[in-house]
């Protein structure tokens, strides 16, 4: 885990950040169980939108450059949700690639079996009898 991510999660856990959803407040741990997409509004995209709206609602001062605690909390909450979304998207892409690889491997194995069967059918009757006898019972 990179230092920035570590600091993000350390802040979130030390400050007991909560994340608003249509099912109420969620803990950091519960965010990992929220789906990326869903038919209802209980998904990470909706949680990120709420976090972003809350961050945007804080009045910005163009004179005061020091961030308030509220700013830090809201920015961190949004960054945590975005990180979890990124991880879940990467997991999803990996699972899709593995599924595609499995399908291709099955096809290649089927083609290999056909080729091997073709080689066996090309053997003469005498060669086939010899191989059968070598196999025994």
Give the count of beta carbons closer than 10 Å to the beta carbon of residue 134: 7
Q: Is residue 136 part of a domain?
A: no
Beta partners for residue 19, in sequence order: 26
Q: Is residue 116 part of a domain?
A: no
As a whole number of Å, the end-to-end CA separation of the chain is 59
Give the pLDDT of residue 63: 76
Q: What's the whole-number average pLDDT of the chain?
A: 91
pLDDT at residue 1 above 70?
no
Q: Is the pTM of this model over 0.95?
A: no
CA–CA separation, 54 and 65 (whole Å): 19
Q: Is residue 109 part of a domain?
A: no
CA–CA separation, 27 and 25 (whole Å): 7
Q: Is residue 10 part of a domain?
A: yes
State which residues form the domain around 75.
3-100
Number of domains making up the chain: 1
Q: Is residue 37 part of a domain?
A: yes
């Amino acid at each position: 885990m990179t230092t920035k991510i570590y600091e993000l999660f350390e802040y979130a856990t030390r400050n007991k950040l909560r994340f608003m959803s249509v099912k109420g407040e969620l803990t950091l741990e519960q965010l990992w169980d929220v789906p990326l997409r869903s038919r209802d509004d209980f998904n990470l995209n909706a949680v990120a939108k709420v976090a972003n709206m809350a961050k945007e609602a804080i009045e910005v001062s163009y004179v005061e450059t020091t961030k308030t605690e509220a700013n830090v909390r809201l920015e961190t909450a949004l960054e945590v949700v975005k990180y979890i979304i990124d991880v879940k998207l990467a997991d999803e892409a990996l699972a899709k690639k593995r599924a595609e690889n499995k399908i291709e491997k099955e096809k290649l194995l089927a083609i290999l079996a056909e080729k091997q069967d073709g080689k066996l059918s090309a053997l003469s009757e005498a060669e086939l009898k010899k191989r059968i006898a070598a196999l025994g019972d």
